[in-house]
């Protein structure tokens, strides 16, 4: 694992609702952040996103399973996210695997997460979750 990605993963894993000021140590002011559910530009928008995330979800933890730096300042982190939310999965833990594509100079200026949005969210919503699980089973 590259030193930069290792350090980033370790510092990112320590984020919580009480230390979101540390985002400025990880991300540049002009950060572009994307995932299957969001597209954000700028550090203030990213800070707001994480503030809402930590206000609504509980027991958020990331386990980083590997990293690949494919060129200087360009790499991928593989991770498993575990969290619980009172309105999803009856409040029980949800686990989702994903990958983050990062580009950085001194700090990360581009961050795109890849994960199954259904496994993260839609499969755990009453009624909708049953329909999505049924559809996935039919397509498999």
Mind listing the pLDDT tens digit for each residue in 34-85? 999 899 999 999 999 999 888 887 888 999 999 999 999 999 999 999 987 7
Confidence of residue 105 (pLDDT cuts 50, 70, 90): very high
Q: Which token pair is 11?
A: 């510092």
Q: Are 83 and 60 in contact (CB under 8 A)?
A: yes
Single pTM value for the model: 0.81
CATH code: domain of residue 129: 3.10.450.50
Residue 136 banded pLDDT, cuts 50, 70, 90 = low
Number of domains the chain is built from:
1
**What is the reported pLDDT for 37?**
86
Alpha helices in 62-127, H assignment, sequence order? 117-120
Tokens encoding 16: 């919580």
Which structural domain range is residue 18 located in?
Answer: 3-139
- Say what the pLDDT of residue 19 is: 96
Helical H runs in 61-127? 117-120
**End-to-end Cα distance, the chain:** 34
């Amino acid at each position: 694992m590259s030193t930069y990605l290792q350090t980033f993963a370790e510092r990112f894993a320590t984020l919580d609702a009480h230390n979101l000021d540390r985002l400025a140590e990880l991300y540049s002011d002009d950060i572009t952040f994307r995932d299957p559910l969001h597209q954000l530009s700028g550090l203030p928008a990213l800070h707001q996103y994480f503030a809402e995330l930590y206000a609504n979800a509980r027991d958020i933890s990331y386990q980083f399973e590997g990293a690949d730096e494919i060129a200087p300042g360009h790499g991928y982190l593989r991770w498993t996210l575990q969290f619980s939310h009172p309105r999803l999965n009856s409040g029980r833990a949800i686990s989702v695997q994903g990958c983050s594509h990062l580009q950085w100079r001194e700090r990360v200026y581009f961050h795109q997460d890849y994960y199954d949005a259904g496994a993260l969210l839609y499969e755990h919503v009453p009624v909708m979750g049953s329909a999505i699980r049924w559809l996935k089973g039919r397509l498999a």
